[in-house]
Structure 1
Amino acid sequence: MEAMAQAAAVLVGVSLDLADKGMGTYFMSIDKCRFRQKVVPGDVLELHMTTLRGGGKIWKFEGRAMVNGQLAAEAEVMAMLNRGDNG
């Protein structure tokens, strides 16, 4: 789940070209989370993130984590863009 939340933050940053702009993306929530199989050290985790809603302050993503072509976890992740420097 942590990897999906971080991937969502990266997607917001890249979509809005936020590098070096002093803005942050904050994780808000996880919905519809399901763990389908165990992931252990050494596994290669492949993340597939789709933007469900975005462009404003609140972004929502659907994420799937795959290991060896098998679904390991899935969830919906929400993130908020912080335009201030109070983080």
Structure 2
Amino acid sequence: MYMDENKFEVNFGLKEIKAIIPHRYPFLLIDKVTYMEPGKKVTAYKNVTGNEYFFSGHFPEEPVMPGVLIIEAMAQAGAVAILSKEEFKNKIAFFGGINRAKFRKKVIPGDTLKLEVEIVKIKGPAGVGKATAYVEDKKAAEAELMFMIGNKN
């Protein structure tokens, strides 16, 4: 299931994603991965539908994906990249912090969220990723995500 370190174009669906990160419905927020450099970069997608559980309360008359869930989707994409690195396989990535988060465009039903994450620093089990979310090539959100790698219980 894990890829050749020199081949970065991938076609990971839910099965492959679930083999790398522990998230499951209703909290798995990425649907596919099309590019990945293990431990370095990833491009993932979330198809936002009108059936998302959070739209029933956010907001019934004008459904908008909560910003915190966009951040979580970016973090899950980054976790796929970092947990695909040989030394971190079969581990879990936890949030260590979020800096410089900005939301620039509403994400609504029918949108496809493109998530790009670059791991910019790793020191031991800690690291930092620069994450950006797009809708139709327009920046929807961005943030710097800090993470810690831990063991699964």
With structure 2 as the length reference, what TM-score do the two structures score? Answer: 0.50
Q: Which residue of 1 aligns with 2:73?
A: 3
Unpaired segments ≥5 residues, structure 1: none
- How far the C-alpha of 1:55 sits from its partner, in A, is 5.3
Q: Against the structure 1 CA distance between its residues 15 and 85, is the aligned structure 2 distance closer, same or farther, given a 3 Å change threshold?
A: closer
Map 1:1-87; keep pairs closer than 5 Å.
Answer: 1-16=71-86, 18=89, 21=90, 23-54=91-122, 56-82=124-150, 84-86=151-153
Unpaired segments ≥5 residues, structure 2: 1-70
Q: Identity of paired residues, percent?
A: 37
Q: Distance in 2 between matches of 1:45 and 1:35?
A: 13
Aligned-residue RMSD, C-alpha: 1.5
- How far the C-alpha of 1:11 sits from its partner, in A, is 1.3
Higher relative contact order (CA 8 A, sep 6+): 1
What are the Cα deviations for residues 61-82 of structure 1, in whole angstroms up to 9, with x where unaligned?
Answer: 0011000010000000011011
Q: Distance in 2 between matches of 1:37 and 1:71?
A: 7
Q: Which has the larger radius of gyration?
A: 2
With structure 1 as the length reference, what TM-score do the two structures score? Answer: 0.84
The structure with the greater share of residues assigned to helix is 2
The structure with the greater share of residues assigned to strand is 1
